[in-house]
Amino acid sequence: MTRFNIRKRDGLARTGIFQTDTLTVKSPVALTTESLFPGPDTPVGSNLPLCASSALVNQFRPENNVQPVTIHPQLDNPAQSGDCVMVANWHTAFSNPKNYVDWLIGLKEKTPVDTAWFAPGSALPSNVHVLCYSGFDLFDFRAVDLKTAQRLFCTPEGEFPAEALGSGICTCTGCQMKNLYLHNRQALLHEIALVTRFIEEYQVRDLVESRCRLNAVHVAIMRLLDNQYRFMERHIPIARSCVMRANSGESLQRAEVRRFADRVINQYCPPKTDVAVLLPCSAKKPYSLSQSHRKFQRAIAGRAHELIVTSPLGLVPRELECIYPAGHYDVPVTGYWDAEECAVISSILTRYFKRHAYRRIIAHLEGGALKVAQMAAEQCGFTLEYSCQDHPTSDSALNALDSSLAGERRIKDDRLHGMISYQFNIDLDTKGTTLRGHYPELFYSKNNAQIFSIDTGTGLLRPTFDGWQLIPEGYRVYIDDFIPEGDVLAPGIVKADPGIRDGDEVLVIGPRAHATGRAALPMDDIQRLRRGVAVRVRKIKRL
Ligand SMILES: [Zn+2]
């Protein structure tokens, strides 16, 4: 009997607790295979090549009812929730990144979610970040022991000849004792501990982006996974409260970045005005708290819709500036935008302005952001006005911005309308809502009843029961005939809107109770899951 409880998820990566009859371990982890699965080794069919044909795999079908359960790209899923599943020879997948990603997605799609994934003979300090990022949990020491036999010194940055042992690169006890075997094993454990830390901080992607640079295959795997947007998007939480480091070109392809742009273009409803000002971003987030944006807002004085042009997100309407990742990203600021950045971001602006027409679009921009706005104007066929001859925060530029808006009417500041359309895909009439609190900690009420608060960590709206009445559909989780005590667990769920992502605000509906809360996993996983928290409950209402 084995069990696997997922604790934290960050994309495909996760931390968890894996239990057998004799052992309980926190994952990700490396162990000796004998301690994981004592007993005779290598059951039939457990060592087939990944590229083996369906005919071959079916001729040597793995034994059932033994742990670990062998899974294979050509085999129907034999595993159940709680099993340890093993993908034999996974180290060979590194020789072809395209196959790696195809096999991984195929296997992930058909295997129960709450299974512990074991990649025997694969983990090295230099690749374990990719393995964890791909959703593997359990490792052994065979790959590092093989490196020891080959007289190679393992580090997260790669393998070196064994003389490196005494060179001061590492000072672990293995190195102190000049024991290569011990160093290599400790280096793997050390790297797994580091990856675990990044998963717990919801920043494993940032680590992978930095670690992968020394290995072309790892970069290729990350990029090919990004190309599988539909698959990756489902696994990425809707919001986090930590910094998103957008320090590489690949940031443009991150699922959360693409999802933000898609929602701004397709779900977000702009305020009723036909004048827009395009503004540069600020290093400080949310932008409103920066000196430069205070100056912009003073000059604009509510007479235009404020749209921030920024990389990698594209376009951030002022109302969405606190929402993840708009309120959380960090980019290296040089003023220079490369060709790919310009192409991706200008296409976001183009798609937005094709959908939302403005009578006047004023570019209060310089450098790369200005170039991108010009590219979009050309694509859409609108004429851009310019209010900025030199630096956007200079007095002359701010005066020009102010006078360009002379005679334009003030528009109503309606953050709630913008945020609710972005988050719940509805065009809500916000007439009669009132606001209290201090930015960004805000509360919205209607008829003296609170309807929404704002999660200052993620920037998302948190509906109350009254708030949910304004959201007619979606984001519902239906539970069995019970009153939740604390969080709702996966087995208690009867059905759920499959569009719900990890981190989405949800309304729990059951015959005996309703509850508000936040989804702890993507709801299309529910069918393939037996254990674990599905909704972190905030409030319960007995019926
Ligand atoms: Zn060492």
Q: Which of 20-24, 277-281, 462-466 has the lowest mean pLDDT?
A: 20-24
> Could you tell me the pLDDT band of residue 26, with boundaries at 50, 70 and 90?
very high
DSSP H helical segments within 317-464, as ranges? 339-355, 367-380, 395-404, 415-424
Question: How far is ligand 1, taken at its centre, from the CA of residue 522, in Å?
Answer: 40
What one-letter code names the amino acid at 275? Answer: V
User: What pLDDT is stored for residue 122 in this prediction?
Assistant: 97
Question: How far is ligand 1, taken at its centre, from the CA of residue 182, in Å?
Answer: 8
DSSP assignment letter at 21:
S
> Could you tell me the pLDDT band of residue 40, with boundaries at 50, 70 and 90?
low
Q: Give the residue from 103, 74, 71 showing the smallest Cα distance to 87.
A: 71
Q: What's the pLDDT tens digit per position in 126-156?
A: 999 999 999 999 999 999 999 999 999 999 9
Question: How far is ligand 1, taken at its centre, from the CA of residue 200, in Å?
Answer: 25
Q: Give the residue from 455, 429, 427, 451 showing the smallest Cα distance to 441.
A: 455
Question: How far is ligand 1, taken at its centre, from the CA of residue 167, in Å?
Answer: 10
- In the sheet that holds 441-446, the strands lie side by side as 433-438, 441-446, 449-454, 461-463
Share of the chain above pLDDT 70, in %: 99
Q: Give the residue from 419, 262, 260 showing the smallest Cα distance to 329.
A: 260
Span 318-337, mean pLDDT?
91
Q: Give the residue from 208, 230, 229 showing the smallest Cα distance to 219.
A: 208
Question: How far is ligand 1, taken at its centre, from the CA of residue 34, in Å?
Answer: 24
Contact 313, 257 (CB under 8 A): yes
Q: What's the pLDDT tens digit per position in 44-86?
A: 667 889 999 988 888 888 776 788 999 999 999 999 999 999 9
Question: How far is ligand 1, taken at its centre, from the CA of residue 170, in Å?
Answer: 4
Question: How far is ligand 1, taken at its centre, from the CA of residue 360, in Å?
Answer: 63
Question: How far is ligand 1, taken at its centre, from the CA of residue 158, in Å?
Answer: 13
Question: How far is ligand 1, taken at its centre, from the CA of residue 152, in Å?
Answer: 12
Question: How far is ligand 1, taken at its centre, from the CA of residue 362, in Å?
Answer: 58
> Could you tell me the pLDDT band of residue 441, with boundaries at 50, 70 and 90?
confident
Span 380-409, mean pLDDT?
94
Q: What residues form DSSP beta bridges with 19?
A: 3, 24
Question: How far is ligand 1, taken at its centre, from the CA of residue 172, in Å?
Answer: 4
> How much is the pTM?
0.94
Question: How far is ligand 1, taken at its centre, from the CA of residue 174, in Å?
Answer: 5
pLDDT exceeds 80 at position 524: yes
Question: How far is ligand 1, taken at its centre, from the CA of residue 188, in Å?
Answer: 10
User: What pLDDT is stored for residue 271 in this prediction?
Assistant: 94
Q: What's the pLDDT tens digit per position in 232-282?
A: 999 999 998 899 999 888 999 999 999 999 999 999 999 999 999 999 999
User: What pLDDT is stored for residue 262 in this prediction?
Assistant: 96
Span 195-218, mean pLDDT?
96
Q: 64 by DSSP, 3-state: which?
A: coil
Question: What tokens appear for 505 in the block?
Answer: 């605000």
Question: How far is ligand 1, taken at its centre, from the CA of residue 510, in Å?
Answer: 55
User: What pLDDT is stored for residue 295 in this prediction?
Assistant: 97
Q: What residues form DSSP beta bridges with 272?
A: none
Contact 419, 264 (CB under 8 A): no
Question: How far is ligand 1, taken at its centre, from the CA of residue 192, in Å?
Answer: 15
Share of the chain above pLDDT 90, in %: 86
What one-letter code names the amino acid at 309? Answer: V
Residue 531: exposed, middle, or buried by beta-carbon count in 10 A (0-12, 13-18, 19+)? Answer: middle
Question: How far is ligand 1, taken at its centre, from the CA of residue 122, in Å?
Answer: 20
Averaged pLDDT of the chain: 94
Question: How far is ligand 1, taken at its centre, from the CA of residue 155, in Å?
Answer: 9
Is the dihedral angle over the CA atoms 74, 78, 79, 84 positive or is it negative? negative
- Direct distance between the N- and C-terminal alpha carbons of the chain, in angstroms, rounded to an integer: 39
Question: How far is ligand 1, taken at its centre, from the CA of residue 13, in Å?
Answer: 26
Q: What's the pLDDT tens digit per position in 356-372?
A: 999 999 999 999 999 99
pLDDT exceeds 90 at position 222: yes
Q: What's the pLDDT tens digit per position in 332-353?
A: 888 789 999 999 999 999 999 9
Q: Give the residue from 171, 174, 173, 166 showing the smallest Cα distance to 145.
A: 174
Pairing of strands 384-386, 360-363: parallel
Span 459-481, mean pLDDT?
95
Q: What's the pLDDT tens digit per position in 172-204?
A: 999 999 999 999 999 999 999 999 999 999 999
Question: How far is ligand 1, taken at its centre, from the CA of residue 215, in Å?
Answer: 21
Question: How far is ligand 1, taken at its centre, from the CA of residue 184, in Å?
Answer: 7
Q: Give the residue from 262, 298, 253 showing the smallest Cα distance to 279.
A: 298
User: What pLDDT is stored for residue 139 in this prediction?
Assistant: 97
pLDDT exceeds 90 at position 355: yes
